[in-house]
């Protein structure tokens, strides 16, 4: 498994091996903008598919970097997470992405 470096400007994705000690920011070799580090689960759309790339940008900008998102989270009486159930499929349309962000905002990755 690895991860992907993605340029949201050029709409390109590069596979990278997972080396925790070497994870760092990097610049796009084409446009020199900052690249995003996304999960290996990310399946990039075709470079020419601007609508799907708009959805990717929206999700990433809202903290969803294509890591697992869970449909159900079980919590005990103290509010502590005790379990998860069912992965959620990432949306492909902007309408669905907006609903997804609102519904799963507690699982967004904040850095």
Coil vs helix vs strand at 54: helix
Question: Is the model's pTM score more than 0.85?
Answer: no
**The pLDDT of residue 17:** 63
Dihedral of CA atoms 37, 84, 101, 10 in degrees, nearest 10, equals 20
**The pLDDT of residue 77:** 81
Residue spans per domain, the chain? 2-107
**The pLDDT of residue 88:** 87
**The pLDDT of residue 22:** 54
| Dihedral sign (CA 81, 61, 2, 49) | positive
pLDDT in tens, the chain (111 residues): 568 899 999 999 988 765 555 556 688 889 999 999 898 889 999 999 999 999 999 999 999 999 988 877 677 788 776 666 678 899 999 999 999 999 999 889 876
């Amino acid at each position: 498994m690895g991860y992907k470096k993605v340029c949201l400007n050029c709409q390109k994705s590069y596979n990278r091996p997972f080396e925790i000690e070497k994870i760092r920011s990097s610049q796009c070799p084409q446009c020199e903008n900052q690249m995003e580090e996304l999960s290996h689960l990310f399946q990039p759309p075709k470079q020419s598919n601007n609508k799907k790339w708009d959805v990717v940008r929206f999700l990433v900008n809202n903290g969803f970097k294509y890591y697992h998102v869970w449909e159900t989270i079980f919590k005990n009486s103290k509010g502590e997470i005790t379990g998860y159930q069912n992965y959620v499929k990432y949306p492909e349309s902007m309408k669905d992405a907006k609903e997804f962000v609102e519904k799963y905002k507690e699982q967004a990755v904040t850095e």
